[in-house]
Amino acid sequence: MKSIGQVKQSLPREFVQKLYERFPTHTAEKILAGYAAERSPSLRANTLKTGIRQLMPELTGQGVKFERVPWYSDALVIKNRREREVERLEAYKAGRLYLQSLSSMIPPLALDPRPGEKVLDMAAAPGSKTTQLAMIMQNQGHILANDANKLRVERLKYNVAVQGAGMVEVNLGDGRTLGGKYPEQFDRVLLDVPCSGEGLFLAGDPRTYRHWSPKEVGKLASLQKKLFSSAFQALKPGGTLVYSTCTLSPEENEMVVDWALGEFAGRLKVAEIPLRIPGARAGGKDFGAATRLRPDVEKALRILPSKLMEGFFVCRFRKTTEIRV
Protein backbone atom coordinates (compact mmCIF):
# COMPACT_ATOMS: atom_id res chain seq x y z
CA MET A 1 0.00 0.00 0.00
CA LYS A 2 1.34 3.43 -0.94
CA SER A 3 2.15 5.99 1.73
CA ILE A 4 0.30 9.33 1.81
CA GLY A 5 3.44 10.98 0.44
CA GLN A 6 3.50 8.58 -2.51
CA VAL A 7 -0.21 9.16 -3.15
CA LYS A 8 0.40 12.92 -3.25
CA GLN A 9 3.11 12.40 -5.85
CA SER A 10 0.79 10.25 -7.98
CA LEU A 11 -2.16 12.65 -8.18
CA PRO A 12 -2.35 15.99 -10.02
CA ARG A 13 -0.55 18.61 -7.92
CA GLU A 14 -3.36 21.14 -8.21
CA PHE A 15 -5.90 18.57 -7.04
CA VAL A 16 -3.86 17.75 -3.93
CA GLN A 17 -3.50 21.46 -3.19
CA LYS A 18 -7.27 21.96 -3.49
CA LEU A 19 -7.89 18.94 -1.27
CA TYR A 20 -5.98 20.57 1.57
CA GLU A 21 -7.72 23.89 0.93
CA ARG A 22 -11.17 22.29 1.02
CA PHE A 23 -10.74 19.96 3.98
CA PRO A 24 -9.02 19.96 7.39
CA THR A 25 -5.60 18.29 7.20
CA HIS A 26 -6.71 15.10 8.97
CA THR A 27 -9.66 14.72 6.58
CA ALA A 28 -7.53 15.39 3.49
CA GLU A 29 -5.07 12.72 4.59
CA LYS A 30 -7.88 10.27 5.30
CA ILE A 31 -9.04 10.80 1.71
CA LEU A 32 -5.52 10.27 0.36
CA ALA A 33 -5.23 7.05 2.39
CA GLY A 34 -8.53 5.95 0.84
CA TYR A 35 -7.06 6.46 -2.63
CA ALA A 36 -4.23 4.06 -1.72
CA ALA A 37 -6.48 1.31 -0.39
CA GLU A 38 -7.33 -1.78 -2.42
CA ARG A 39 -11.11 -1.81 -2.34
CA SER A 40 -12.93 -5.11 -1.86
CA PRO A 41 -15.60 -5.97 -4.47
CA SER A 42 -19.20 -5.67 -3.35
CA LEU A 43 -22.46 -6.93 -4.79
CA ARG A 44 -26.16 -7.08 -4.14
CA ALA A 45 -28.53 -9.97 -4.56
CA ASN A 46 -31.01 -9.34 -7.35
CA THR A 47 -34.28 -10.03 -5.54
CA LEU A 48 -36.14 -10.12 -8.85
CA LYS A 49 -34.47 -13.50 -9.37
CA THR A 50 -33.32 -14.73 -5.96
CA GLY A 51 -32.97 -13.72 -2.32
CA ILE A 52 -29.93 -12.99 -0.19
CA ARG A 53 -30.60 -16.15 1.86
CA GLN A 54 -30.52 -18.25 -1.31
CA LEU A 55 -27.49 -16.44 -2.76
CA MET A 56 -25.25 -16.72 0.30
CA PRO A 57 -25.13 -20.57 0.44
CA GLU A 58 -24.65 -20.64 -3.34
CA LEU A 59 -21.57 -18.42 -3.02
CA THR A 60 -20.28 -20.33 0.02
CA GLY A 61 -20.56 -23.58 -1.92
CA GLN A 62 -18.24 -22.12 -4.55
CA GLY A 63 -15.65 -21.07 -1.99
CA VAL A 64 -16.56 -17.37 -1.98
CA LYS A 65 -16.06 -15.64 1.38
CA PHE A 66 -18.07 -12.55 2.18
CA GLU A 67 -19.38 -10.22 4.87
CA ARG A 68 -22.88 -8.82 5.29
CA VAL A 69 -23.46 -5.06 5.06
CA PRO A 70 -25.19 -3.81 8.24
CA TRP A 71 -27.10 -0.98 6.54
CA TYR A 72 -28.27 -2.95 3.47
CA SER A 73 -29.46 -6.52 3.93
CA ASP A 74 -29.22 -7.41 0.22
CA ALA A 75 -25.52 -6.42 -0.10
CA LEU A 76 -22.32 -8.40 0.45
CA VAL A 77 -18.61 -7.49 0.53
CA ILE A 78 -16.48 -10.17 -1.13
CA LYS A 79 -13.30 -11.03 0.78
CA ASN A 80 -11.41 -13.51 -1.40
CA ARG A 81 -12.32 -12.85 -5.04
CA ARG A 82 -11.66 -10.06 -7.54
CA GLU A 83 -14.47 -8.65 -9.68
CA ARG A 84 -13.39 -10.55 -12.79
CA GLU A 85 -13.52 -13.81 -10.78
CA VAL A 86 -17.04 -13.03 -9.56
CA GLU A 87 -18.03 -12.38 -13.19
CA ARG A 88 -17.24 -16.03 -13.99
CA LEU A 89 -19.83 -17.29 -11.50
CA GLU A 90 -23.10 -18.65 -12.85
CA ALA A 91 -25.03 -16.41 -10.44
CA TYR A 92 -23.46 -13.37 -12.09
CA LYS A 93 -24.07 -14.59 -15.65
CA ALA A 94 -27.70 -15.41 -14.84
CA GLY A 95 -28.33 -12.02 -13.23
CA ARG A 96 -28.93 -13.33 -9.71
CA LEU A 97 -26.34 -10.87 -8.43
CA TYR A 98 -25.05 -7.48 -9.53
CA LEU A 99 -21.54 -6.17 -8.89
CA GLN A 100 -21.90 -2.64 -7.54
CA SER A 101 -19.93 -0.42 -5.20
CA LEU A 102 -21.50 0.09 -1.78
CA SER A 103 -21.56 3.87 -2.23
CA SER A 104 -23.45 3.47 -5.52
CA MET A 105 -26.19 1.56 -3.68
CA ILE A 106 -27.00 4.56 -1.46
CA PRO A 107 -28.83 6.87 -3.95
CA PRO A 108 -31.57 4.33 -4.85
CA LEU A 109 -32.08 3.56 -1.15
CA ALA A 110 -32.32 7.30 -0.45
CA LEU A 111 -34.87 7.72 -3.27
CA ASP A 112 -36.93 4.90 -1.71
CA PRO A 113 -39.33 4.32 -4.64
CA ARG A 114 -42.55 2.37 -4.10
CA PRO A 115 -44.11 -0.33 -6.29
CA GLY A 116 -46.45 1.19 -8.88
CA GLU A 117 -44.76 4.59 -9.02
CA LYS A 118 -43.38 6.39 -12.06
CA VAL A 119 -39.63 7.04 -11.74
CA LEU A 120 -37.08 8.86 -13.90
CA ASP A 121 -33.41 7.83 -13.80
CA MET A 122 -31.99 10.77 -15.72
CA ALA A 123 -28.36 9.63 -16.29
CA ALA A 124 -28.82 5.90 -15.93
CA ALA A 125 -26.05 4.01 -17.77
CA PRO A 126 -24.67 1.44 -17.19
CA GLY A 127 -27.73 0.56 -15.11
CA SER A 128 -26.47 -0.24 -11.60
CA LYS A 129 -28.92 2.11 -9.91
CA THR A 130 -31.68 1.56 -12.49
CA THR A 131 -31.80 -2.18 -11.85
CA GLN A 132 -31.59 -1.60 -8.10
CA LEU A 133 -34.59 0.74 -8.35
CA ALA A 134 -36.51 -1.93 -10.28
CA MET A 135 -35.63 -4.43 -7.58
CA ILE A 136 -36.81 -2.12 -4.77
CA MET A 137 -40.06 -1.52 -6.72
CA GLN A 138 -40.56 -5.28 -7.21
CA ASN A 139 -40.78 -4.73 -10.98
CA GLN A 140 -44.09 -2.88 -10.51
CA GLY A 141 -44.60 0.58 -11.99
CA HIS A 142 -42.49 2.31 -14.62
CA ILE A 143 -38.88 3.51 -14.79
CA LEU A 144 -37.68 5.72 -17.63
CA ALA A 145 -33.92 5.11 -17.73
CA ASN A 146 -32.23 7.80 -19.81
CA ASP A 147 -28.66 8.37 -20.92
CA ALA A 148 -27.08 10.69 -23.47
CA ASN A 149 -24.31 8.31 -24.61
CA LYS A 150 -25.25 5.81 -27.33
CA LEU A 151 -22.62 3.20 -26.38
CA ARG A 152 -23.49 3.41 -22.69
CA VAL A 153 -27.18 3.03 -23.53
CA GLU A 154 -26.41 -0.33 -25.15
CA ARG A 155 -24.76 -1.47 -21.91
CA LEU A 156 -27.76 -0.18 -19.99
CA LYS A 157 -30.13 -2.22 -22.18
CA TYR A 158 -28.00 -5.33 -21.64
CA ASN A 159 -27.93 -4.99 -17.85
CA VAL A 160 -31.66 -4.28 -17.66
CA ALA A 161 -32.33 -7.45 -19.68
CA VAL A 162 -29.99 -9.70 -17.68
CA GLN A 163 -31.38 -8.43 -14.38
CA GLY A 164 -34.95 -9.08 -15.52
CA ALA A 165 -36.07 -5.48 -14.95
CA GLY A 166 -39.04 -5.60 -17.32
CA MET A 167 -40.58 -2.39 -15.99
CA VAL A 168 -37.69 -0.30 -17.35
CA GLU A 169 -37.96 1.74 -20.54
CA VAL A 170 -34.53 2.75 -21.89
CA ASN A 171 -34.22 6.12 -23.62
CA LEU A 172 -31.32 7.73 -25.50
CA GLY A 173 -31.49 11.48 -25.02
CA ASP A 174 -30.14 14.66 -23.47
CA GLY A 175 -31.29 14.84 -19.86
CA ARG A 176 -31.51 18.62 -20.09
CA THR A 177 -34.55 18.25 -22.38
CA LEU A 178 -36.53 15.74 -20.33
CA GLY A 179 -38.18 18.24 -18.01
CA GLY A 180 -39.72 20.00 -21.01
CA LYS A 181 -40.88 16.69 -22.52
CA TYR A 182 -42.31 15.25 -19.30
CA PRO A 183 -43.38 18.18 -17.10
CA GLU A 184 -44.42 17.08 -13.59
CA GLN A 185 -44.91 13.46 -14.67
CA PHE A 186 -42.67 11.52 -12.26
CA ASP A 187 -43.24 10.59 -8.62
CA ARG A 188 -39.48 10.33 -8.06
CA VAL A 189 -36.36 11.36 -9.98
CA LEU A 190 -32.86 10.00 -9.53
CA LEU A 191 -30.26 12.47 -10.78
CA ASP A 192 -26.87 10.76 -10.53
CA VAL A 193 -25.01 13.36 -12.55
CA PRO A 194 -21.88 13.20 -14.72
CA CYS A 195 -19.09 14.48 -12.48
CA SER A 196 -15.32 14.81 -12.10
CA GLY A 197 -15.11 11.44 -10.30
CA GLU A 198 -12.80 12.56 -7.49
CA GLY A 199 -14.34 9.92 -5.23
CA LEU A 200 -13.15 7.14 -7.58
CA PHE A 201 -9.47 8.13 -7.86
CA LEU A 202 -7.00 5.28 -7.31
CA ALA A 203 -3.40 6.23 -6.67
CA GLY A 204 -2.12 3.33 -8.76
CA ASP A 205 -4.34 3.94 -11.79
CA PRO A 206 -3.74 7.19 -13.74
CA ARG A 207 -6.83 6.48 -15.88
CA THR A 208 -8.99 7.43 -12.89
CA TYR A 209 -7.66 10.99 -12.66
CA ARG A 210 -5.92 11.89 -15.94
CA HIS A 211 -8.87 14.00 -17.16
CA TRP A 212 -9.24 16.00 -13.94
CA SER A 213 -8.77 19.78 -14.07
CA PRO A 214 -10.34 22.80 -12.32
CA LYS A 215 -11.76 23.86 -15.70
CA GLU A 216 -13.47 20.47 -16.11
CA VAL A 217 -14.94 20.76 -12.59
CA GLY A 218 -16.42 24.15 -13.52
CA LYS A 219 -17.91 22.83 -16.78
CA LEU A 220 -19.47 19.89 -14.99
CA ALA A 221 -20.96 22.06 -12.25
CA SER A 222 -22.67 24.14 -14.94
CA LEU A 223 -24.05 20.99 -16.62
CA GLN A 224 -25.22 19.61 -13.27
CA LYS A 225 -27.32 22.72 -12.61
CA LYS A 226 -28.97 22.43 -16.03
CA LEU A 227 -29.75 18.76 -15.40
CA PHE A 228 -31.12 19.65 -11.98
CA SER A 229 -33.47 22.22 -13.48
CA SER A 230 -34.74 19.61 -15.92
CA ALA A 231 -35.17 17.03 -13.14
CA PHE A 232 -37.08 19.54 -11.02
CA GLN A 233 -39.41 20.30 -13.93
CA ALA A 234 -40.07 16.58 -14.53
CA LEU A 235 -40.91 15.94 -10.86
CA LYS A 236 -44.50 16.04 -9.61
CA PRO A 237 -45.34 18.41 -6.76
CA GLY A 238 -44.88 16.43 -3.56
CA GLY A 239 -42.36 14.17 -5.32
CA THR A 240 -38.85 13.15 -4.25
CA LEU A 241 -35.60 13.95 -6.07
CA VAL A 242 -32.20 12.50 -5.17
CA TYR A 243 -29.07 14.28 -6.41
CA SER A 244 -25.84 12.29 -6.24
CA THR A 245 -22.25 12.37 -7.47
CA CYS A 246 -19.12 10.26 -7.13
CA THR A 247 -16.94 13.31 -6.52
CA LEU A 248 -15.61 15.27 -3.54
CA SER A 249 -15.71 18.70 -5.16
CA PRO A 250 -17.96 21.11 -3.20
CA GLU A 251 -18.53 23.00 -6.48
CA GLU A 252 -20.35 19.90 -7.77
CA ASN A 253 -21.95 18.91 -4.47
CA GLU A 254 -22.85 21.32 -1.66
CA MET A 255 -22.72 24.35 -3.92
CA VAL A 256 -25.14 22.78 -6.41
CA VAL A 257 -27.49 21.98 -3.52
CA ASP A 258 -27.18 25.54 -2.22
CA TRP A 259 -27.81 26.92 -5.72
CA ALA A 260 -30.91 24.72 -6.13
CA LEU A 261 -32.37 25.91 -2.82
CA GLY A 262 -31.98 29.48 -4.03
CA GLU A 263 -33.12 28.85 -7.62
CA PHE A 264 -36.28 27.03 -6.51
CA ALA A 265 -36.87 28.86 -3.24
CA GLY A 266 -40.21 27.99 -1.69
CA ARG A 267 -40.68 25.05 -4.07
CA LEU A 268 -37.89 22.72 -2.94
CA LYS A 269 -36.77 21.44 0.46
CA VAL A 270 -33.92 19.19 1.54
CA ALA A 271 -35.17 16.06 3.28
CA GLU A 272 -33.36 13.81 5.74
CA ILE A 273 -31.90 10.58 4.34
CA PRO A 274 -33.14 7.76 6.60
CA LEU A 275 -29.96 5.66 6.39
CA ARG A 276 -27.21 5.05 8.94
CA ILE A 277 -24.01 4.72 6.90
CA PRO A 278 -20.88 4.22 9.03
CA GLY A 279 -18.43 7.09 8.46
CA ALA A 280 -20.89 9.25 6.52
CA ARG A 281 -20.56 12.99 7.12
CA ALA A 282 -23.06 15.79 6.97
CA GLY A 283 -22.87 17.90 3.83
CA GLY A 284 -20.87 21.09 4.19
CA LYS A 285 -19.53 20.24 7.66
CA ASP A 286 -15.91 20.11 6.51
CA PHE A 287 -15.87 23.51 4.85
CA GLY A 288 -16.61 25.83 7.74
CA ALA A 289 -18.63 29.03 7.90
CA ALA A 290 -16.63 30.74 5.15
CA THR A 291 -18.55 28.83 2.48
CA ARG A 292 -21.86 30.47 3.59
CA LEU A 293 -24.00 27.49 2.72
CA ARG A 294 -27.66 27.26 3.72
CA PRO A 295 -28.07 25.17 6.91
CA ASP A 296 -30.21 22.54 5.15
CA VAL A 297 -27.18 21.47 3.08
CA GLU A 298 -26.06 19.57 6.20
CA LYS A 299 -28.88 17.06 5.62
CA ALA A 300 -26.92 15.71 2.63
CA LEU A 301 -24.49 12.80 3.06
CA ARG A 302 -20.83 12.90 2.10
CA ILE A 303 -18.95 9.57 1.88
CA LEU A 304 -15.15 9.65 1.92
CA PRO A 305 -13.16 7.07 -0.10
CA SER A 306 -11.95 4.12 1.96
CA LYS A 307 -11.19 0.42 1.71
CA LEU A 308 -14.93 -0.27 1.65
CA MET A 309 -16.45 2.80 0.01
CA GLU A 310 -15.94 5.05 -2.98
CA GLY A 311 -16.25 8.78 -2.38
CA PHE A 312 -19.86 9.86 -2.91
CA PHE A 313 -22.32 12.67 -2.21
CA VAL A 314 -26.09 12.19 -1.84
CA CYS A 315 -28.83 14.73 -1.19
CA ARG A 316 -32.59 14.09 -1.00
CA PHE A 317 -35.13 16.76 -1.90
CA ARG A 318 -38.87 17.14 -1.69
CA LYS A 319 -40.72 19.28 -4.23
CA THR A 320 -43.31 21.23 -2.30
CA THR A 321 -46.97 21.24 -3.26
CA GLU A 322 -47.73 24.70 -4.57
CA ILE A 323 -51.08 26.29 -3.78
CA ARG A 324 -52.34 28.10 -6.87
CA VAL A 325 -55.08 30.69 -6.53
Tens digits of residue pLDDT in 85-140: 999 999 999 999 999 999 999 999 999 999 999 999 999 999 999 999 999 999 99
State the pLDDT at residue 288.
55
Overall average pLDDT of the 246-270 stretch: 96
**107 inside domain:** yes
**281 inside domain:** yes
**249 inside domain:** yes
Overall average pLDDT of the 48-58 stretch: 98
Q: Which of 252, 126, 243 is nearest to 199 (CA)?
A: 252
pLDDT greater than 90 at residue 43: yes
SS3 of residue 308 by DSSP? coil
**261 inside domain:** yes
Could you tell me if 189 and 228 are in contact, meaning their C-beta atoms sit under 8 angstroms apart? no
Q: Which of 71, 76, 40 is nearest to 57 (CA)?
A: 76
Q: Identify the bridge partners of residue 316 per DSSP, sorted by sequence position.
A: 242, 271
% of the chain beyond a pLDDT of 90? 90
**266 inside domain:** yes
SS3 of residue 142 by DSSP? strand
Q: Whole domain around residue 272: which residue ranges? A: 103-319
State the pLDDT at residue 3.
87
| Number of domains present in the structure of the chain | 1
Residue 278: count other Cβ atoms within 10 Å of its Cβ.
11
pLDDT band of residue 325 (cuts 50, 70, 90) is: very low
Overall average pLDDT of the 196-217 stretch: 95
Name the DSSP letter for residue 145. Answer: E
State the pLDDT at residue 289.
47
Tens digits of residue pLDDT in 13-29: 999 999 999 999 999 99
**81 inside domain:** no
SS3 of residue 230 by DSSP? helix
Q: Annotated catalytic, 246?
A: yes
**38 inside domain:** no
Tens digits of residue pLDDT in 56-97: 999 999 999 999 999 999 999 999 999 999 999 999 999 999
Helix axes 25-36, 13-22, angle to 10 degrees: 140
What distance in Å separates the CA atoms of residue 278 and residue 71, rounded to the nearest whole number? 8
State the pLDDT at residue 322.
67
Task: Kindly report the CATH number assigned to the domain that includes residue 196.
Answer: 3.40.50.150
Q: What is the identity of the amino acid at 66? A: F
Overall average pLDDT of the 158-165 stretch: 98
pLDDT greater than 80 at residue 323: no
DSSP for 12-32, please give it.
-HHHHHHHHHHS-HHHHHHHH
User: Rounded to whole angstroms, what are the CA distances from 64 to 22, 43, 83, 199?
Assistant: 40, 12, 12, 28
In the set 97, 123, 246, 304, the catalytic residue is 246
Tens digits of residue pLDDT in 284-311: 877 654 467 899 999 999 999 999 999 9
pLDDT greater than 60 at residue 324: no
**237 inside domain:** yes
Name the DSSP letter for residue 197. Answer: -
Could you tell me if 187 and 239 are in contact, meaning their C-beta atoms sit under 8 angstroms apart? yes
Could you tell me if 152 and 126 are in contact, meaning their C-beta atoms sit under 8 angstroms apart? yes
